[in-house]
Amino acid sequence: METEVKDQLVSIEKPELVAPPNWEPVIMGILCNWCSYAGSDLTGTSRIQYPPNIRIIRVPCSSRVDPWFLIKSLQTTADGVLVSGCHPGDCHYISGNYYARRRFLVTKKLLNFVGFHENRVQFSWVSAAEGPKFAKVVNKVTEDIKKLGPLHLYKKENFEKK
């Protein structure tokens, strides 16, 4: 019986690693309750189309987003992550997104440093009134991730498939 565990690691962003046909990326969208989540609502109610690849999680504030969330999402199902919050100065909790901004920069740079493409994790400020912007952002992120292909780096294996 196979006992020694070897992860199936494939270095990402190799040109030959073409996505299988009909592959659609999974994007984890972590949105702040007060601006971006309301913004995504507005996008829907305004009947603006955006790709269905995004799976949205609502958090109270963008500063609720622990960098751990990003690592966890990238290691499980997500091929990319989008975190979105209020514009600077608009935070419902006054300064949450300023704190978040610092963390995001460090996390993004660190992930890039160890081998993730910088487009794998993206951030945006979307206010409750910016329905069209939200659609634009999701479009862009989806496009970016589609270009990069599926993420294979450091994935936790899916036990169900085996």
Partner 1 sequence: MNYTKQIQEIAAKLFAEGKIDVFVGYRMNGFDDNQVPVLISGPQDISKLVFTDKSVFNLVNYLKTDHTRRKRVGLVVKGCDSRSLNLMLTESQVKRENLYVVGICCEGVVDDDGQRMQNCVECMVPDAVVYDELLGETLSGSQTLTGSKPYIVNVDIAALAEKPLTERAAYFEEVFESCIRCNACRHSCPLCYCAKCCIDQETATLYNGANTTSAAFHALMTWSLHLAGRCVDCRNCEKACPSHLPLHLLHKQNESVIFKNFQEHLAGVNPGDRGAFYKYSMQDPDDFIM
Partner 2 sequence: MSVEIFVTDKAGLQKFYEAIMANHETYAPVETFGKFDFKRVARLTECDPESPVAKTRSIKPLFFPRTSRVMKYIATSAGTDVSETDEDPLAVKRVILGAKHCDARALQVLDKVYNWDYIDTDYQKRRENTVIISTRCDKADTHCFCTSLDYDVENLDAMDVLIVNGADGKIYIRAKTEKGAGLLNSEVTRHASPVTEESATPELKKQYDAFAASFRLRMDYAEVNAKLSKIFDTPEFENVSGNCVSCNTCAFVCPTCHCFKISDEKVKDAGVRYKSYDSCNNGYFTLMAGGHNPRPAKYRRWRQRAMHKFVYYKERFGENLCVGCGKCTISCPVNISIFEVVNQVAQ
Enumerate binding residues for partner 2 (CB under 8 A): 1-5, 76, 156, 158-160, 162
Burial track 29-48 (b if 16+ CB lie within 10 A, e otherwise): bbbbbbbbbbbbebbeeeeb
- Report d(CA 148, CA 119) in Å as an integer: 8
At which residue do the structure tokens 């990402």 appear?
A: 12
> Which of the ranges 18-26, 29-37, 41-49, 71-79 carries the binding residues for partner 1, by CB under 8 A?
71-79
Q: How far is the CB of 161 from partner 2 (least distance, A)?
A: 8
- Binding partner 1 (rule: CB under 8 A), the pick from 71, 77, 128, 132 is 71
Supply the minimum distance, in Å, between the C-beta of residue 145 and partner 2. 22
Residue entry with tokens 């036990």? 159
Alpha carbon separation from 20 to 8, 15, 140 (Å, rounded) = 17, 13, 21
Between 45 and 158, name the residue whose CB sits nearer to partner 1: 158
Indicate if the alpha-carbon torsion angle 137, 84, 101, 90 is positive or negative. positive
Which string of x and - marks every residue 3-42 that binds partner 1 (by CB under 8 A)?
--xxx-x-xxxx----------------------------
Per rule CB under 8 A, is residue 94 in the interface with partner 1?
A: no
Q: CB-hemisphere CA count at 13 Å for 86? A: 22
Residues linked to residue 84 through DSSP beta bridges, in sequence order: 31, 124
Residues 131-160 that bind partner 1 (CB under 8 A): 137, 140, 153-157
| Partner whose binding site includes residue 129, from partner 2, partner 1, none (CB under 5 to 8 Å by kind) | none
DSSP 127: -
Residues that bind partner 1 (CB under 8 A): 5-7, 9, 11-14, 67-68, 71-72, 75-76, 88, 95, 98-99, 101-117, 122-125, 137, 140, 153-157
